Every structure is written in C-alpha cells, then in structure tokens.
Amino acid sequence: MAGCIALIAHDQKKDDMAAFAQRNADTLRPWAIVATGTTGGRVLDAAPDLNVTRLKSGPLGGDQQIGAMIATGNIDALIFFVDPLTPMPHDVDVKALMRLAIVYNIPMALNEATAEKLLPTLRA
C-alpha cells in the first residue's frame, strides 16, 4: 500500500505548492496525498493525475484533520509551505500541527527548498 504525504500551503504560497506538485508529479504519483481544501484544489489543477484527497480548509479544521492523521500513524511526511510574512488567524492550529509532526517524528518540510531535498528520500 502506498504511503501518504500531507500538503498544505498558506495563501501566498499556494502557487508555489501547485508548481512544486506539477514539477514533482512523477515522484508524487505513487503516493496518496491529503491536502487542505484550497491547496488540494490547486494541486489537482496543476497535476490532475495525482491521488489527492481534499480535506477542509486549514482555518475550518483541515490542519486538525491532518494532525489527527499524524497522531494515528496515517501520514508519512508533511510538506507545509509556510508564509512567515502574512498574519495567520489560525496560528495556534499551525503550531499544533507542526508540534504533532515533531512529536511523532514525521519528516516535515516548511519551505520549497527543503521539500525538494526531502521528497526524493521518501519511499511510497
């Protein structure tokens, strides 16, 4: 069974995530992907042949849904393009999600450069 990668991107980083997914579609194709709502839609538009399950939008609970999947062992890696220059009204949820990834020792990339290095090391 394929592993699962979570993809999340803040508003100002959604274009970057869509481009990342399109550029890395061959590597991502064997994976099940979960993504917060809008990010998942943008990824599917850019790479329609990927296996993407869209969850709720981050502020509406999508971050917590992915956090629960991490806690239950259903996420193998987290790629989260964070925009540190834009205020986040749900900052507490974002910090909790990152904390869970650390607690459960899930590989996590918080920017594109790290994601490009991490992705080829993962095995579906």
Catalytic residue positions, numbered? 63
Q: What are phi and psi of 78, to 5 degrees?
A: -125, 125
In this structure, are residues 32 and 40 in contact, taking their beta carbons and an 8 Å threshold? no
